[in-house]
């Protein structure tokens, strides 16, 4: 098994973490990763955009004026699409934008993206992450020392100090290990995981 360096919050070395050969040697599959990102973004779309058809508009259904004798072009309903305040032709309607991607492919994509982050030295494993204070300023300074001003923090348990400090940092996101996916893994230049969170993620993608 390969080993991954683990550090404490003061950047001193902790006991290394063993990672499975399946993760350490996982090749990078760009097309599979791309499919996983599209899957995640499509699933996140609300799909609540809507335009009214003629039946949904309020107003008279009667003919505006007689067919002949007025000298004007013939006209029917005021709800016609070509008229002002009329209906919308082929407009959007509420629907589900989600696409399918099987579980095995999603796991393979996450494993591939995570292995690539490890190879590029963009992933940091922390023995624990428990800030002494809840001040955003202190956490931002610590992240700057770690060269991770823009980062995704993946935890198994989030202490209250960490939750309060993170929520005011616009370039930092914290997620539970069960919410880690390819999309948020690729959004940030640096990934910080606690030892417990990494073990849980590794177990999830190797099963």
Same domain, yes or no: 30 and 67: no
| CATH assignment of the domain containing 16 | 3.40.1370.10
- Backbone φ and ψ for 174, nearest 5 degrees, come out as -120, 130
Question: Residue 52 belongs to what domain range?
Answer: 48-96
Residue 190 is predicted with a pLDDT of 95
Give the start-end residues of each E strand in the chain. Answer: 2-7, 13-19, 123-126, 151-155, 172-176, 190-194
pLDDT band at 62 (very low <50, low <70, confident <90, very high): confident
Same domain, yes or no: 76 and 129: no
Same domain, yes or no: 108 and 186: yes
Q: Which of 58, 80, 96 is the last residue of a domain?
A: 96
Residue 21 is predicted with a pLDDT of 87
Same domain, yes or no: 156 and 80: no
Same domain, yes or no: 160 and 179: yes
Q: Look up the pTM and report it.
A: 0.83
Same domain, yes or no: 128 and 190: yes
Axis crossing angle, helix 103-119 with helix 195-206, rounded to the nearest 10: 140
pLDDT band at 2 (very low <50, low <70, confident <90, very high): confident
Same domain, yes or no: 89 and 173: no
Residue 176 is predicted with a pLDDT of 95
Same domain, yes or no: 8 and 57: no
Task: Tell me the pLDDT tens digit for each residue of 9-52.
Answer: 998 999 999 898 889 889 999 999 999 999 999 999 999 999 99
Report percent pLDDT > 70 for the chain.
100
pLDDT of 1 above 80 = no
Same domain, yes or no: 85 and 153: no
Q: For residues 137 and 166, give the distance between their C-alpha atoms in angstroms, rounded to a whole number.
A: 10
Task: Tell me the pLDDT tens digit for each residue of 86-134.
Answer: 999 999 999 999 999 999 999 999 999 999 999 999 999 999 999 999 9
Residue 203 is predicted with a pLDDT of 92
Same domain, yes or no: 179 and 109: yes
Cα→Cα distances 183→35, 92, 174, 194, Å = 10, 26, 14, 19
Report the pLDDT averaged over residues 140-168.
93
Residue for token digits 């100090």? 161
Report the pLDDT averaged over residues 56-69.
90
Residue 70 is predicted with a pLDDT of 94
Task: Tell me the pLDDT tens digit for each residue of 67-91.
Answer: 999 999 999 899 999 999 899 999 9
Same domain, yes or no: 108 and 168: yes
State how many domains the chain has.
2
Question: Hey, what are 139's tokens?
Answer: 């956490």
Q: Which of 96, 115, 135 is the last residue of a domain?
A: 96
Residue 200 is predicted with a pLDDT of 94
Same domain, yes or no: 22 and 113: yes
């Amino acid at each position: 098994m390969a080993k991954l360096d683990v550090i404490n919050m003061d950047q001193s070395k902790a006991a290394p973490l063993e990672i499975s050969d399946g993760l350490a040697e996982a090749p990078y599959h760009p097309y599979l990763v791309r499919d996983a990102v599209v899957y995640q973004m499509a699933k996140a779309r609300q799909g609540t955009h809507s335009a009214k058809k003629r039946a949904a508009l309020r107003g008279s259904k009667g003919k505006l004026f007689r067919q002949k004798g007025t000298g004007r072009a013939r006209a029917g309903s005021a709800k016609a699409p070509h008229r002002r305040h009329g209906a919308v032709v082929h407009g959007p309607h509420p629907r589900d934008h989600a696409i399918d991607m099987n579980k095995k492919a999603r796991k393979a994509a996450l494993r591939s993206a995570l292995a690539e982050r490890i190879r590029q030295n963009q992933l940091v494993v922390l023995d624990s992450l428990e800030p002494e204070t809840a001040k955003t300023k202190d956490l931002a300074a610590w992240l700057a020392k770690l060269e991770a001003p823009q980062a995704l923090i993946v935890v198994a348990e989030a202490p209250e100090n960490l939750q309060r400090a993170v929520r005011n940092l616009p370039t930092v996101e914290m997620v539970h290990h069960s919410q880690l996916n390819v999309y948020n893994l690729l959004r940030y230049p640096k990934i910080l995981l606690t030892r417990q969170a990494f073990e849980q993620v590794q177990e999830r993608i190797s099963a």
